[in-house]
């Protein structure tokens, strides 16, 4: 049985620097020749792209709601079989949400390293760090990282008052050159950042320089466990999957599941005007069609091939941005209206403020699935929904599920492992 050390990186809030520190550790270890596997807590498509580039391996989600405890354990076990180090980046603040990052760390006994933005504090840093450590008894903390530190003197003040069992692991200097570009929904996608690898190396250099002499990170070992085999419910089915900068929001676990079910996947880029491959079913994941609406509307065969696909009764699943690309029209954030594929009646508009955010549970005709919603778009369609999602935390986001022939669409980003049988039944047609 294999075993692998694992560490959980969290923070008191979003924007503290969790992703940069996680990526810095991953890149630092990977360029030493270690096999590093990184996970992201909760639903996210943007941070994992950065972390994948840092570690050199796909980044999977660990979510106790979307996937469940057994699924998370299986993902960690699979990583333990082939890695020298496992890193798990939290989501939002350590105790935010239900389930929270703290819930996940506690479920697997992972020691927590908290990253705190120290740019506007001095001795209060120790009070905040100690409060995080003591708020939930039984949660193991192995140290803190001070981020955006102004000077060596500032670093000394930050360490004052920290208890012996909560060391200041590293003090990272404030450096505007290390910040990543952002847009609505979060960080700019990794595939759109040509200088990302150089920046990741700079992060790793900063991390190595900031580590306190003689300090060794503490880890919890993750053991291997056996996984049940997936029945080949999609054996012989060929599923086309859009994948590019306009349709880039794909969970690796979703892709793995379709393959485990026996499906052959054919990836293509609508953005680069590649034709729809010959297929039995089609999946249009979310992404940024609003940023590439002009190129999509100019695709010479896109609309006609989609119409032919649906007219033949072949399944088509469109999620969030994938759904927007199927509408009659889409108005982007600059107020420009673009004709879309016209398979789904209605129009969408990208607005400057957030329209929806939250975990989602939704009942497909084939069975219940889980996922999440996060978008700035509003939708106006005459279609009546066949189902309405619910938020486990009681939030107001409750997305609709639409069906038109073999076309199924929603703002929900579905997590396929939450119900493999339902997913297989839909794509089987």
pTM strictly above 0.95: no
Domains in the chain, CATH or no CATH each: 3-223 (3.40.50.300), 238-428 (3.40.50.880)
- Residue-level pLDDT at 35: 96
Mean pLDDT of the chain: 93
Q: Is 97:65 a contact under the CB 8 Å cutoff?
A: no
What are the pLDDT digits (tens) for 80-123? 989 999 999 999 999 999 999 999 999 999 999 999 999 999 99
Q: Which position has the token pair 């939250």?
A: 358
- Lookup: tokens for 394: 């009681």
Question: Is the pLDDT at 1 greater than 50, yes or no?
Answer: no
Residue-level pLDDT at 46: 85
Strand, helix or coil for residue 1: coil
* pLDDT score of 28 more than 70: yes
- Residues with catalytic roles: 320
Residue 2 has pLDDT above 80, yes or no: no
Eight-state DSSP code of residue 230: P
Alpha carbon dihedral 311, 315, 320, 325, in 10-degree steps, equals -30
Per-residue pLDDT at 45: 87
- CA–CA distance, 429 with 271 (Å, rounded to integer): 27
Confidence of residue 221 (pLDDT cuts 50, 70, 90): confident
Q: How far is CA 58 from CA 40, 262, 390, 399, in A?
A: 11, 21, 30, 28
- Each residue's pLDDT tens digit, 301-324: 999 999 999 999 999 999 999 999
Rounded to 5 degrees, φ, ψ at 172 are -90, 130
Q: What is the mean pLDDT of residues 391-417?
A: 96
Q: What pLDDT score does 61 carry? A: 97
């Amino acid at each position: 049985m294999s075993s692998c050390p694992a560490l959980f990186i969290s923070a008191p809030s979003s924007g503290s620097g969790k992703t940069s520190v996680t990526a810095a550790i991953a890149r630092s270890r990977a360029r030493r020749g270690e096999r590093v596997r990184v996970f992201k807590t909760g639903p996210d498509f943007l941070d994992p792209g950065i972390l994948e580039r840092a570690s050199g391996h796909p980044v999977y989600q660990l979510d106790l709601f979307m996937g469940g405890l057994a699924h998370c354990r299986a993902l960690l076990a699979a990583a333990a079989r082939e890695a020298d180090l496992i890193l798990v980046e939290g989501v939002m603040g350590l105790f935010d949400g239900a389930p929270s990052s703290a819930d996940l760390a506690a479920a697997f006994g992972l020691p927590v390293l908290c990253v705190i933005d120290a740019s506007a504090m001095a001795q209060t840093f120790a009070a905040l760090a100690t409060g995080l450590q003591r708020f939930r008894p039984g949660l193991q903390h192995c140290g803190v990282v001070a981020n955006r530190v102004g000077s060596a003197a500032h670093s000394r003040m930050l360490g004052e008052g920290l208890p012996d069992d909560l060391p200041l692991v590293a003090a990272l200097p404030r450096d505007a050159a290390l910040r990543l570009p952002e847009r609505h929904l979060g960080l700019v996608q990794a595939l759109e950042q040509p200088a990302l690898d150089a920046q990741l190396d700079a992060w790793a250099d900063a991390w190595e320089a900031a580590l306190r002499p003689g300090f060794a990170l503490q880890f919890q070992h993750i053991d291997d466990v056996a996984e049940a085999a997936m029945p080949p419910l999609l054996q012989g089915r060929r599923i086309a999957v859009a994948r590019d900068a306009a349709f880039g929001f794909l969970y690796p676990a979703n892709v793995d599941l379709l393959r485990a079910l026996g499906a052959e996947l054919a990836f293509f880029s609508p953005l680069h005007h590649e034709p729809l491959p010959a297929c039995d079913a089609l999946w249009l994941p979310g992404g940024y069609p609003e940023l590439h609406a002009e190129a999509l509307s100019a695709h010479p065969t896109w609309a006609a091939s989609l119409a032919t696909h649906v007219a033949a009764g072949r399944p088509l699943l469109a999620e969030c941005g994938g759904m927007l690309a199927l509408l009659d029209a889409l108005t982007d954030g600059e107020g420009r209206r673009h004709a879309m594929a016209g398979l789904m009646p209605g129009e969408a508009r990208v607005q400057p403020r957030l329209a929806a955010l939250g975990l989602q549970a939704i009942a497909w005709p084939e069975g219940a699935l889980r996922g999440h919603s996060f978008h700035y778009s509003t939708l106006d369609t005459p279609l009546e929904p066949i189902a309405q999602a619910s938020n486990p935390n009681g939030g107001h986001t409750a997305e609709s599920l639409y069906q038109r022939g073999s076309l199924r669409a929603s703002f929900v980003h579905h997590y396929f492992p939450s119900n493999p049988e339902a997913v297989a039944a839909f794509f089987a047609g």
